[in-house]
Structure 1
Amino acid sequence: MLLKLLLWTVRLLTLALIVVSLLPEIPSGHWAIRLWEFPRLQLSLVIAVTLLLLTLHAWIGRARKEHALLLVALLATGAWQGSHILPFTPVWPDEVAEADAQTLANQSTLKIMTANLDFTNDRYAEAVEVIKREDPDVVLLIEVDSGWEAGLAPLDELYAYREGDVRGEGLGIVVWSRIPLQDARVEHLVSERRASIFATLAVPGIGPVRYAGIHPVPPGLKERTPNDGGDTERRDSRERDAELMLVAERVAEDADNRWIVTGDFNDAAWSNTTKLFKSLSELEDPRRGRGLLSTYHTEYPLWRYPIDHMFVSDGFELVELDRVTIEGSDHFAITTTLTAAAKDQAPPDAPQEAQEDADELIEEGADDASEQGVSS
C-alpha cells in the first residue's frame, strides 16, 4: 500500500512539475501563468526531491519501464529549469567584465544603490544609516510615502540632487544623487499610478550617463483601480511588460550614450519578458556569471527571487556587486560599483521578431491600463 502511494505521489508530482514548468511558455499575461516564471529555484528543489522518491520506489520495489520514463521526464524538466538558472552562477561567463586593478588606478568609479524600502516599514533611521555606510553616488528608493519622505530627510543634506514621486500604497519612487541630474523628470509610461524616473548623470571622469529608475506593477498583486468600485483584483503582467518594453525602446533609441536602468522590476531575471527587454535594449546584467543575488523575500530564504535589477549598457566594467539588508523591508538592496570601459558605437540590432513581440506587449499594456482606468 505504501509503495503504491509513493508511486502515485511521484506520478502526480512529475505531471505537476511538467505543467508548471511549461506554463510560462504560453503567450498570456494572466497572473496565474506569469507567476510560474519566478520559482525556478524552488521548482528545481521539488524536482530533486521527486527524483529521490522515484529512486526510493525503484530500489524498494522492482524497477520497471515506468521508472525509466518518469526519470527521463524529471531529468528533462530539471534541465529546462537549470537552463534558466545556470547563467546566474559562476560556471557561466561574466556578461559585464570585471575591472582590473590597473584600470581602477586610473579611472573614476560610480556607485549605484537600489532599494525597495517597503512602505509598511517604519525603520527610517536604520535605512538612513545603511545608505550612509554604503555611501552610493546615486540611490534609488522605492515605495517612498510621506512617512518615508520625512524619515529620509537627512539624505537631503547628503545629496544635492533629487527627483521623484512621493506616493502612498507602495507607489512612491525617488532618486537622490550627489552627481548633477540633468533633464531629470518623472514619467508615467503606461499607468498614472506607476512612475518612472529618467535623468542624465554628469559623472566626472566618465561623462554623461543616461539613467532610468522603474517600479512596474507586479503580476498577481491585488491593487485598487478607479474602475473597480473600491474592491481589489489581481493584476496580470501586461502593464509591467509594456513598461519594460517602453524603457528598452528608449534605451535603443539613444544607444550612443551609456545607460543604467535599475529598480524593482517585479520580474525574475530569467523571465521571457526580461530576456526580451535585454534583447531589445542590448543592456547587460552584472549578475550573469556571478550569482543570483535574490532580493525578495528577505524573511523566507527558501522563497526568494531575483526581482530587483541593475542593467548597464556596454561602456562599463564592474568593480563590485553586493546585496545589502534594509532592516524591516521585505527586499534586499543592491549596490553596484562601475567604472568606464570602451563604448561600442554600433546601434542595437534586435531581431525583427523581438521588436514585433515588444510592440504587441506595449499595445496590450496600454489596453489593460485603459480598461483599469489608469492609463497615462
Structure 2
Amino acid sequence: MMVFLVVVSLLPLVPSGQWWIRVWDFPRLQLTVLLVLPLSLLAIHAWRSRQCKEHKAWLAVIVMIAGWHAWHILPFTAVWATEVPTAQAEPDRPHPTLKVLTANVTFANDHYAEILNMVEQEDPDILLLIEVDSALNEGLASLDEEYAHRVGEVREEGLGIVMWSRIPLLEKGVEHLVSERRPSVFATLDMPEVGPVRFIGAHPVPPGLLERNAANDDEERQDSRERDAELMLIARHVQKDPDNRWIVAGDFNDVAWSRTTKLFAELSDLKDPRRGRRLLSTYHAERPWWRYPIDHMFVSDGFHLIDIDRVRVQGSDHFGILTTLTAARKDQAKPEASEGQEQEAEEIVEEGEADAAESGAGVSEQ
C-alpha cells in the first residue's frame, strides 16, 4: 500500500496530459489521510519487533510524502499569507461592493424552485450558472425578470453556461476557445463608481470524462490537454488587458494547487481569495470525504475581499461559491511571466487545440 501511495502522490510530476495521471492531482487531502494507515501499521510492527533502520526509513518516506501534500494544501489555510487583502471597514468612505455567485447546478437538475430561492436569498449582483440545459433554462426563466442583463449559451449534456447581471454590460459575448462544445462567457461590467470590470466565466472539460469523439463516433476518456489549453488562453486574454480589473470564475475542473492552475495564475497575475483563508472544496457536495476545490474565483488587484463562502445548491453535486468584493486602488502592474512559463503555456495550447481537432471538436471546424 505504501508503494501505491508514493507512486500516485508523485505521478502528477510526470509532464503528461493523460487523464489517469492528471486525476491524481485531485485527492491530495485524501491521500494524506490515507497515510495514517501505513503509519499505524509501521508503529505496531516497530513496537512488536523493536525499532530498526527499515522502520526509520519507511517513517521518513511517510513524513516526506505527507509534507509533499501539505506543501500543496497549506496555502489554502489560515497559516499562509493571503493573496487578496481583506477589506477594511471605512464607515466614512464606503466603497462600491460586488457580490458574485458562481455555481455548477448540474444538468438535468429539476430543483428549480430551490435554486431560485437560493439566488433570492443570496441576492448576488452577478450570477454565473454552469451546466444550464434547455429544461433548466425554462425552469429558471424568472431570473430574466430579476436581472436586466444576460449572456451565455444554453446547451445539453452539461455544456451550457449563462451569466445574469444587475450591472450594465458594456460588452458581452460567448467564445469557444478550444472546443466548439465548450462555451465561455465574456463580459465587461460597467460598475458604478469603479468603471469597467472584465469578467470571464468558464467550464473546461474535466480529465477522465467520457465523451463522444465526433471524428470516429466512439466514446473516449478526455485527457487534460483541452482543459489546460482553455485556462492558458483565458490567461492570455487577461495578459493583453492588464489595465482593467478582472474577475475569472467557474468550474475549472482542476484543483487549486495543480501546476496548470498555478501557471494560469502566474500568467494572468490574478489572485485566489481562498489562499491564506480556507480551502472551500466544492465537489462532490454529497461526499464529504471525497471533495476537491475545483470551482474557482480569481480576481485582479483592484479588489479587496469582504467575504467568500460555499453555498448549497439543491440537486447539484457541486457547492456554489459566493464572493463579496469591494473595489480598491489598482496598481496597474502588468503580468510578468517568465519566458519559460510563456513557452510552457504555448505548448499547452498547441497540444489542447490538437486534441480538440483530433476529436472533431476543434473551433476551426465550426
TM-score by length of structure 1 reads 0.95
2:45 maps to 1:57:
yes
Give the equivalent residue in structure 2 for 1:303.
290
How many Å apart are 1:120 and its aligned residue? 2.4
**How big is each residue's C-alpha offset from its partner over 1:122-153, in whole Å with a ceiling of 9 and x where there is no partner?**
10110011001000000000000000001111
Residue 324 of structure 1 aligns to which amino acid in structure 2?
Answer: V
**Which one has the bigger helix percentage?**
1
| Counterpart check, 1:161 vs 2:149 | yes
Aligned residues between the structures: 363
Letter matched to residue 37 of structure 1: D
What are the superposed Cα offsets for residues 341-366 of structure 1, whole Å, 9 maximum, x if unpaired?
Answer: 11111211111111010000000001
Shift of 1:60: 2.1
RMSD: 1.0
Aligned mate of 1:259, from 246, 264, 277: 246
Looking at structure 1, the residues matched to 36 and 190 of structure 2 have their Cα atoms a distance apart, in angstroms, of: 49
Rounded to whole Å, the distance in 2 between the matches of 1:369 and 1:112 is 31
Where do residues 198-213 of structure 1 align in structure 2 (5 Å cutoff)?
A: 198-213=186-201
Q: 2-side partners of 1:341 and 1:124: how far apart? A: 36
8 A Cα contact 2:108 2:133, kept in partner: no
Q: How far does the alpha carbon of each residue in 1:179-216 deviate from its partner, in whole angstroms, 9 at most, with x for none?
A: 01221000000000000011100111221100000000
Would you identify which runs of 4 or more consecutive aligned residues in structure 1 move more than 3 Å? none
Match of 2:65 among 77, 83, 92: 77
Given that 2:171 and 2:189 are in contact with CA atoms closer than 8 Å, whether structure 1 keeps it comes out as: no
Which amino acid is the alignment partner of residue 277 of structure 2?
R
AA partner of residue 356 (structure 1): Q
Number of the residue aligned with 1:4: none
5+ residue gaps, structure 2: none
| Counterpart residue identity of residue 319, structure 1 | I
Please tell me whether residue 93 in structure 1 is matched to residue 81 in structure 2. yes
Q: d(CA) in 2 for partners of 1:328 and 1:313?
A: 32
Superposition pairs of residues 349-368 of structure 1, within 5 angstroms: 349-368=336-355
| Counterpart code for 1:316 | F
The aligned residue for residue 218 of structure 1 is: 206
State TM-score, norm by structure 2: 0.98
**Aligned counterpart in structure 1 of residue 227 of structure 2, from 234, 240, 243:** 240
Q: Contact conserved, 1:161 with 1:179, CA < 8 A, in 2?
A: yes
**2:19 aligns to what?**
31
Which deviates more from structure 2 when the two are superposed, residues 28-37 or residues 92-101? 92-101
C-alpha change, 1:104 and 1:17, in structure 2 (3 Å) is: farther
Report if aligned partners of 1:104, 1:339 keep a CA contact under 8 Å in 2.
Answer: no
Deviations along 1:86-130, whole A, 9 cap, x unmatched? 000011111110001117951110000100000021101100110
- Stretch of structure 1 that moved more, 54-63 or 130-139: 54-63
With 275-284 and 344-353 compared, the bigger mean Cα shift is at: 344-353
1:246-303 CA-partner distances (Å, limit 9, x unpaired): 0001101100000000000000000000000001001000000111110000110000
